[in-house]
């Protein structure tokens, strides 16, 4: 367990915009920050961060919360792990009791897989530095690649002993379960009748140097292992298999070490292999990641897009590498990103080039040879086409097809003009070709839509869940009460009330009374007078906590309240707190639409909410009484009298609200 003092220190030190800024590229938007959602695929920002309230809200997925909630959602941390991550980031010593073997066993499946992977990283590092085979084989290999001790330790490089089950036995002896060793792919388990247990187990990465693959926050997801012998039957590089924590298509090697520099430089260099990343990083170019030998995927591109809008693809000069880069470019363009391409001289790759050149020389080469994708693709394809007119036409069509992937219309037009100049062909022809591609995509989409409609038409059974949703007025009013308490609870306002008094003729009349009071006190007393309880379970949970903190804490702030939120209420509370930020995303002021500031009329707002809730509950009670009269044929006089009294009360409330019934 982590001590309360440590948790308090972490929350005091942590800045939500700094922490999230490590994972998402944030841009200033008034007093807040906005960026692309890290939880959904989108091209326009719907993710908001409030430094004042120390909360975040993702309007596309509905998720939200404090800084710990973000790490739990994004990195799948447990609460203690999120606190430890923040403590490490802000150099805070964590006071806790050591985790027992029993606690390890009680951890859920994903968490157990993370624990096993973290243990394996430490084990392979220990073997590399502290055993004779590790130093003689593994460390020698890394030194020959030109890696310094500091670099080797920074990337957590290691060595797996060239023995069948040394790692597995050691992990089992330390209390880690074979089930999770197998699920992470660190251990291979096979049926074996000759074995006493009926199974045979052995280490997957036997005799390989190890490259830990880390998430953006530094969690170990899997491993890449390189064999050092000339065994033709064994793969040169071997990766961890897909698992609950490791999805190859969604991971970029080096993203943990590169994320801050990518955001700072507003550019990401994309290479192919582990050693390319490490060599560049060691030379001083840290904003570099690798797709780990796999074809580039949309998920990997979106991972980069959270940090920057610019990618420079680096590759060696072989033909296979060129073709692979061309395929990846279209995917990058589809995500609305700016892409450049840089090829190294023949026979060189990013690793060898970085090893042989100084930092200044590398920077100069990248600056001089990084081409815009149009120039790169045109020069490469035109070289293949030579003087063949048919192949040249296919090349132009191929380039226009790439341009069609760009979402931004202005950018598309600029690239068409550039293509026209380079390929010596009229813009009109290129725009016509672009239009044809667009029409074909629309036609294909229309056909798909019509087919889906036809398929749905064949289904004669109606979906019982597809019913028209009615507006829940009571939920909206209760939500407004929580919102006002959060935003203005401590504010002192002038409230206008009306007291019932009899006139000379015995008729009830409303007499105006003005008094000053704290907003939370006004709401609490009004709801208590009418014995009103909130019906929504989340609001019923939040309301007494809010009233208590507003009453007891002179220095009450939204930030401190958010820190105490439980998971089940975080999404709802952050939605309320970030409601106004949601309208900032719509940019009303740019459209000359002025939105009224609620601060101007807090007293009136509070009175209207409470009175509206009273009116709603009266209507609800009247309906219940009317249904009761239908059930009871006799003795309804008392019920009817009660209904009349409620109607009279509602008319008085309507006068307060200045409404016509």
pLDDT of residue 473: 79
36/306 Cα distance (integer angstroms): 6
Copy the structure tokens of residue 573: 């509370």
Nearest C-alpha neighbor of 255 from the set 247, 263, 243 = 263
Copy the structure tokens of residue 226: 């390189």
Q: Would the CA dihedral through 390, 394, 399, 401 be positive or negative?
A: positive
Copy the structure tokens of residue 490: 């401590």
Residue 17 CB-half CA count within 13 A: 15
Alpha carbon of 214 to those of 145, 219, 265: distances in Å?
A: 21, 5, 21
Task: Look at the chain and count its residues.
Answer: 661
Backbone angles phi, psi at 100, to 5 degrees: -85, 170
Contacts of 89 (CB under 8 A, 6+ apart): 14, 19
pLDDT of residue 267: 94
Residue ranges in the chain modelled with pLDDT below 70: 96-107, 193-198, 293, 317-327, 381-386, 440-471, 497-503, 506-512, 567-568, 580-600, 624-625, 627-661
Please state which CATH number belongs to domain 263-272+290-436: 3.40.1360.10
Residue with token string 């994004």: 74
Residue 510 burial by Cβ neighbours in a 10 Å radius (0-12, 13-18, 19+): middle
> Quick check: 73 and 92 in contact, CB under 8 A?
no
185/243 Cα distance (integer angstroms): 8
Enumerate the β-bridge partners of residue 212.
Answer: 223
Buried b / exposed e over 274-296, threshold 16 CB at 10 Å, is bbbbbbbbbbebbbbbbbbeeeb
Enumerate the β-bridge partners of residue 371.
Answer: 341
pLDDT of residue 274: 94
354/565 Cα distance (integer angstroms): 49
- The CATH class of the 105-246 domain is alpha beta
2/15 Cα distance (integer angstroms): 20
> Quick check: 293 and 240 in contact, CB under 8 A?
no
88/94 Cα distance (integer angstroms): 9
536/543 Cα distance (integer angstroms): 10
pLDDT of residue 559: 76
pLDDT of residue 661: 37
Sheet holding 27-29, edge to edge: 27-29, 32-35, 47-50, 55-58, 64-65
342/372 Cα distance (integer angstroms): 9
Q: How many C-beta atoms lie closer than 10 Å to residue 566's C-beta?
A: 11
> What are the tens digits of pLDDT across the range 174-206?
999 999 999 999 999 988 756 666 678 999 999
Angle (CA) 163 166 172, round 5°:
155
Copy the structure tokens of residue 232: 């033709």
Tally: H helices and E strands in the chain: 29, 18
> Quick check: 164 and 206 in contact, CB under 8 A?
yes
145/596 Cα distance (integer angstroms): 64
Pick the CATH number of 4-89 from 3.90.580.10, 3.30.70.2340, 3.40.50.720, 3.40.718.10: 3.90.580.10
Domain coordinates in residue numbering, the chain: 4-89, 105-246, 263-272+290-436, 473-564+596-657
């Amino acid at each position: 367990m982590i001590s309360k003092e440590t948790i308090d220190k972490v929350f005091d030190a942590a800045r939500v915009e700094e922490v999230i800024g490590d994972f998402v590229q944030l841009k200033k938007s008034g007093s807040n920050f906005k960026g692309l959602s890290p939880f959904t695929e989108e091209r326009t920002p719907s993710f908001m961060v409030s430094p004042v309230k120390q909360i975040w809200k993702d309007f596309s997925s509905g998720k939200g919360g404090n800084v710990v909630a973000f790490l739990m959602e994004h990195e799948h941390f447990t609460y203690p792990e999120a606190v430890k991550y923040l403590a490490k980031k802000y150099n805070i010593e964590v006071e806790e009791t050591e985790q027992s073997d029993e606690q390890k066993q009680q951890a859920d499946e994903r968490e157990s897989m993370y624990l096993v992977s973290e243990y394996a990283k430490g084990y392979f590092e220990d073997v590399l530095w502290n055993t004779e085979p590790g130093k003689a084989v593994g460390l020698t290999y890394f030194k020959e690649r030109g890696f310094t001790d500091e670099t080797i330790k920074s990337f957590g490089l290691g060595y797996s002993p060239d023995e069948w089950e040394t790692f597995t036995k050691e992990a089992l002896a330390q209390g880690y379960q074979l089930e999770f060793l197998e699920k992470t792919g660190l251990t291979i388990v096979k049926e074996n009748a000759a074995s006493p247990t009926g199974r045979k187990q052995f280490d997957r990465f036997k005799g390989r140097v190890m490259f830990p693959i880390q998430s953006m926050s530094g969690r170990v997801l899997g491993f890449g292992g390189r064999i050092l012998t000339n065994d033709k039957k064994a793969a040169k590089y071997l990766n961890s298999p897909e698992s609950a924590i490791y999805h190859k298509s969604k991971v970029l090697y080096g993203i943990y070490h590169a994320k801050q520099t990518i955001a700072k430089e507003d550019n990401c260099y994309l290479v192919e292999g582990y050693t390319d990343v490490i060599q560049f990083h060691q030379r001083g170019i840290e904003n570099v990641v690798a797709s780990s030998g796999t074809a580039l995927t949309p998920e990997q591109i979106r991972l980069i897009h959270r940090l920057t809008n610019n990618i420079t693809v680096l590759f060696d000069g072989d033909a296979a590498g060129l073709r692979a880069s061309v395929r990846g470019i279209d995917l990058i363009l589809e995500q609305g990103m700016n892409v450049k391409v840089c090829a190294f001289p023949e026979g060189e790759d990013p690793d060898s080039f970085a090893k042989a050149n100084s930092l200044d020389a590398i920077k100069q080469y990248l600056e001089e040879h990084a081409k815009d994708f149009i120039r790169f693709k045109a020069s490469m394809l035109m070289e293949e086409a030579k003087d063949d007119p048919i192949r040249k036409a296919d090349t132009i069509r191929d380039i226009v097809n790439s341009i069609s992937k760009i979402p931004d219309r202005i950018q598309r037009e600029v690239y068409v003009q550039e293509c026209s100049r380079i390929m010596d062909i009229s813009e009109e022809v290129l725009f016509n070709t672009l239009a044809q591609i667009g029409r074909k995509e629309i036609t294909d989409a229309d056909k798909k839509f019509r087919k889906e409609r036809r398929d749905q038409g064949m289904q004669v059974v109606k979906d019982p869940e597809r019913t028209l949703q009615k507006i829940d007025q009571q939920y909206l009013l209760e939500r407004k009460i929580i919102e006002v308490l959060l935003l203005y609870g401590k504010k002192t306002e002038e409230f206008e009330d009306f007291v019932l008094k009899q006139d000379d003729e015995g008729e009830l009349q409303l007499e105006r009374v003005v008094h000053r009071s704290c907003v939370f006190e006004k709401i609490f007393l009004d709801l208590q007078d009418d014995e009103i309880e909130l019906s929504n379970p989340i609001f019923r949970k939040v309301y007494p906590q809010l009233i208590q903190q507003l009453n007891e804490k002179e220095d009450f702030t939204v930030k401190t309240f958010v820190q105490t939120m439980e998971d089940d209420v975080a999404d709802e509370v952050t939605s309320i707190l970030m409601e106004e930020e949601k309208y900032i995303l719509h940019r009303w002021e740019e459209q000359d639409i002025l939105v009224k500031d609620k601060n101007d009329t807090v007293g009136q707002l509070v009175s209207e909410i409470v009175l509206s809730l009273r009116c709603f509950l009266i209507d609800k009670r009247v309906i219940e009484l009317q249904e009761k009269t239908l059930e009871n044929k006799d003795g309804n006089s008392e019920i009817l009298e009660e209904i009349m009294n409620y109607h009279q009360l509602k008319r008085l409330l309507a006068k307060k609200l200045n409404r016509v019934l």
